[in-house]
């Protein structure tokens, strides 16, 4: 099977290496940036009576699904615990959901740019990813552009809200566009609740009953516990329960997450808000630094993200993306090149907004200096 038509397909083979430097603005793992849980905070809930028992359920035990539904309600995302299916990661859920919705040779619409999570899954399933444009400087769902991308074998449309990396989040108009498209909607909401604009974004869960729907989230971002390997999807099917049941049937084969982890899940979700708040404070401070840097460096443009853990920088086209990344690396700053997310057009790089504030500030100062020097030389 030919590889996917993606510029990032050659990642790690033909691209220059991008090793971490002193000012590493790519880190997002909570433990790496001082936002993780200590063993004292994280491990005691595992010593729960229920964790020693094994009661297999393809959807995950109901007590754990109820805890997830309670947690989602605190993020303005209401769903019935019965609609939820738990698995050891969103990739696992994406695979089961897409396997349910497609046959080999089909395709699904995915945002471009976007987080490169699905390439391998699509390849394994023998389906194609059909990109639809999400303009990084004015992101919204364009009904005509989406419709133009629908082909005879298009089986679903995928959205990421908050979007990684551009920070776009669904609005009510976007939900109408999705409802009118009429395709099953698979919404990745792992970054839900990390908003920089006032008010919560509407969840794709509002599409329940209108189109077949899967809305995903997980402990990695919800509670900053990526190592515990729990994710969830709320699945809704306006025509009955075939979608949810088929995902359940596939899950019955894999029966993913370990019992002690599922027993501890309710406690972790109850404790998650303080971890989330610490991360939000970090992001707010780094965003303020970013705004100040952009004001001081007119050659640099950074669209203000509405939500999420990332910011993108648009760089002057006097160098290409890899040359900019290399120039920053020479000043000991690591950033993620835009091509990894299939950005088109102007050179862009992606920064993590969750790195420690002193590292972010100094890294960004150096980036500003490099840009000034390069632009002045031209």
Return residues touching ligand PLP (CB under 6 A).
89-91, 115, 117, 160, 164, 188, 190, 218, 220, 226, 231
- Beta strand extents in the chain (DSSP E only): 23-24, 84-87, 107-112, 128-133, 154-160, 185-188, 213-218, 231-236, 310-314, 333-334, 336-337, 348-352
Query: Based on CB atoms, which residue is closest to ligand PLP, 155 or 192?
Result: 192
Q: How far is the CB of 309 from ligand PLP (least distance, A)?
A: 8
Query: Based on CB atoms, which residue is closest to ligand PLP, 294 or 341?
Result: 341
Q: How far is the CB of 94 from ligand PLP (least distance, A)?
A: 8
Residue whose Cβ sits closest to ligand PLP: 218
Count the Cβ atoms, other than its own, within 10 Å of residue 328.
25
Residues facing residue 133 across a β-bridge: 112
Residues 6+ apart with CB under 8 A from 322: 15, 16, 337, 339
Kindly write down the DSSP assignment for every residue of 78-121, as one continuous string. ---GGGEEEES-HHHHHHHHHHHH--TT-EEEEEES--TTSHHH
Query: Based on CB atoms, which residue is closest to ligand PLP, 93 or 125?
Result: 93
**CA separation for the pair 62, 85 (Å, rounded):** 10
Query: Based on CB atoms, which residue is closest to ligand PLP, 106 or 188?
Result: 188
Q: How far is the CB of 307 from ligand PLP (least distance, A)?
A: 12
Residue 133 token pair: 């444009």
Cα 52 to Cα 39, 56, 145, 258: the distances in Å are 20, 13, 52, 10
Query: Based on CB atoms, which residue is closest to ligand PLP, 293 or 307?
Result: 307
**CA separation for the pair 325, 73 (Å, rounded):** 41
Dihedral through CA 95, CA 98, CA 99, CA 101, nearest 10? Answer: 160
Contact by Cβ (8 Å): 23, 362? yes
- Judged by DSSP in three states, 242 sits in helix
**CA separation for the pair 187, 72 (Å, rounded):** 14
Query: Based on CB atoms, which residue is closest to ligand PLP, 18 or 160?
Result: 160
**CA separation for the pair 110, 122 (Å, rounded):** 11
Q: How far is the CB of 26 from ligand PLP (least distance, A)?
A: 12
Residue 287 token pair: 């965003």
- Judged by DSSP in three states, 218 sits in strand
Query: Based on CB atoms, which residue is closest to ligand PLP, 100 or 220?
Result: 220
Q: How far is the CB of 220 from ligand PLP (least distance, A)?
A: 3
Q: How far is the CB of 231 from ligand PLP (least distance, A)?
A: 5
Query: Based on CB atoms, which residue is closest to ligand PLP, 90 or 257?
Result: 90
Q: How far is the CB of 340 from ligand PLP (least distance, A)?
A: 12
Q: How far is the CB of 326 from ligand PLP (least distance, A)?
A: 25
Q: How far is the CB of 155 from ligand PLP (least distance, A)?
A: 20
Query: Based on CB atoms, which residue is closest to ligand PLP, 27 or 210?
Result: 27
């Amino acid at each position: 099977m030919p590889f996917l038509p993606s510029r990032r397909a050659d990642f790690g083979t033909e691209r220059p290496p991008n090793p971490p430097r002193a000012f590493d603005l790519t880190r997002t793992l909570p433990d790496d940036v001082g936002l993780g849980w200590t063993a004292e905070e994280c491990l005691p809930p595992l010593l729960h009576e229920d964790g020693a028992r094994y009661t297999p359920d393809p959807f995950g035990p109901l007590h754990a699904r109820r805890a997830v539904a309670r947690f989602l309600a605190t993020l303005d995302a209401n769903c019935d615990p019965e609609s939820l299916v738990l698995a050891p990661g969103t990739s696992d859920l994406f695979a089961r959901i897409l396997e349910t919705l497609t046959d080999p040779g089909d395709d699904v619409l995915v945002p471009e740019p976007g987080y490169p999570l699905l390439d391998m899954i699509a390849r394994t399933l023998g389906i194609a990813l059909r990109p639809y444009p999400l303009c990084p400087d004015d992101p919204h769902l364009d009904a005509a552009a989406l419709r133009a991308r629908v082909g005879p074998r298009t089986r679903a449309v995928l959205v990421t809200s908050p979007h990684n990396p551009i920070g776009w989040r669904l609005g009510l108009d976007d939900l109408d566009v999705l409802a009118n498209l009429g395709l099953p909607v698979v919404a990745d909401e792992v970054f839900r609740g990390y908003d920089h604009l006032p008010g919560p974004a509407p969840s794709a869960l509002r599409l329940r009953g209108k189109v077949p729907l899967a809305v995903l989230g997980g402990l990695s971002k919800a509670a900053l516990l990526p190592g515990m390997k729990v994710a969830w999807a709320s699945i809704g099917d306006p025509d009955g329960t075939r979608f949810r049941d088929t995902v359940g049937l596939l899950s019955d084969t894999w029966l993913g997450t370990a019992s002690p982890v599922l027993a501890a899940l309710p406690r972790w979700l109850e404790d998650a808000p303080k971890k989330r708040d610490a991360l939000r404070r970090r992001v707010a401070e780094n965003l303020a630094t970013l705004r100040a840097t952009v004001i001081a460096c007119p050659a640099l443009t950074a669209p203000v993200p509405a939500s999420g853990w990332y910011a993108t920088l648009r760089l002057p086209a006097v160098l290409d993306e890899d040359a900019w990344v290399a120039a920053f690396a020479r000043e000991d700053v690591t950033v993620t090149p835009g091509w990894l997310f299939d950005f088109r057009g102007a050179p862009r790089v992606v920064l993590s907004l969750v790195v420690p504030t002193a590292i972010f500030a100094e890294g960004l100062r150096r980036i500003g200096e490099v840009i000034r020097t390069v632009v002045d030389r031209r």
